[in-house]
Structure 1
Amino acid sequence: MAGRAVLLIPHRGDAADEGGLPGDYRKILAIVREADGPVRVRAVHEAAGAGRLGHGKLEPLRAKMTKLAARGWLHKRGDGRFSARP
């Protein structure tokens, strides 16, 4: 795209719905929304099945969840847990 950056993960206000997100990111959102409250990265990793969202390690998954939070899809709490935005 000549001179324009293309965001893989759009800002929440720029996207009509989460359908524009890549599959891994939609899966993360679904897991966080189904949880009873704020979740840790490890809980999302375990719910997805080991290795499915980060090649068996937590840091790639944490990076994806942090990116979702930075773009307004999730809320990152001060204690490191994530919750879904209404």
Structure 2
Amino acid sequence: MVDPDVLRKIVVRRAELDVLEEQLVKQLDQVRTEQEELAVAERVLARMAEQFAAAEAASAAPAEVQVAGRAVLLIPHRGPGMAQDVLPPDYQRILAVVRDAGGPVSTRRVGEELGLEVAVRGKLEPLRGKLSKLAGRGWLRKLPDGRFTTRL
């Protein structure tokens, strides 16, 4: 004969395990749902990172645009770790002259180093524009007196 206390304990324990099973099934569903959401989030972040890298690479490379039917090279904004070789050769020469000067340098002095006719003001204005563009894009620093120096 089976002891009624033992039988009652078995029934109670079975009921406890049924409740626990329901809780675990719910928990497992929640875990699987969250795993699926995280997988989607990872894919979205990977896609965004690819798009960001592509956009950054496109902005780092000099872009050409058409102005009055001529291709004009744009000067990119200087970013962290960006080398000066993204600039056109004439802008690279300008940077080299300013860097080699060892201190603030005037447009006239840069023009002299580049072999321009500095006596003719019209020959210096395009150079002043290039120096100002380099300063505006973070490649050089323009001082209040109009001279230019390298960025630290």
Q: Deviations 1:18-77 (Å, cap 9, x if unpaired)? A: 0010011000000000002100000000011125xxxx7000000000000000000000
Larger RCO: Structure 1 or Structure 2 (Cα < 8 Å, ≥ 6 residues apart)?
Answer: 1
Bigger Rg, which one: 2
How large is the Cα RMSD of the aligned pairs? 2.0
TM-score by length of 1: 0.82
Shift of 1:8: 1.6
The answer to whether residue 74 in structure 2 is matched with residue 12 in structure 1 is: no
SS of residue matched to 1:75: strand
* More helix by percentage: 2
Uncovered stretches (5+) of structure 2, i.e. residues with no partner: 1-58, 64-72
TM-score by length of 2: 0.48
Number of equivalent positions: 78
**Paired residue for 1:33, among 90, 99, 105?**
99
What is aligned with 1:83? 149
Q: In 2, distance between residues paired with 1:44 and 1:72? A: 18
Identity %: 58
Shift of 1:15: 7.0
What is aligned with 1:42? 108
Uncovered stretches (5+) of structure 1, i.e. residues with no partner: none
Measured at CA, do residues 64 and 15 of structure 1 come closer, stay the same or move farther in structure 2, by a change above 3 Å?
farther
The ranges of structure 1 where at least 4 consecutive aligned residues each deviate by more than 6 angstroms after the TM superposition are: none
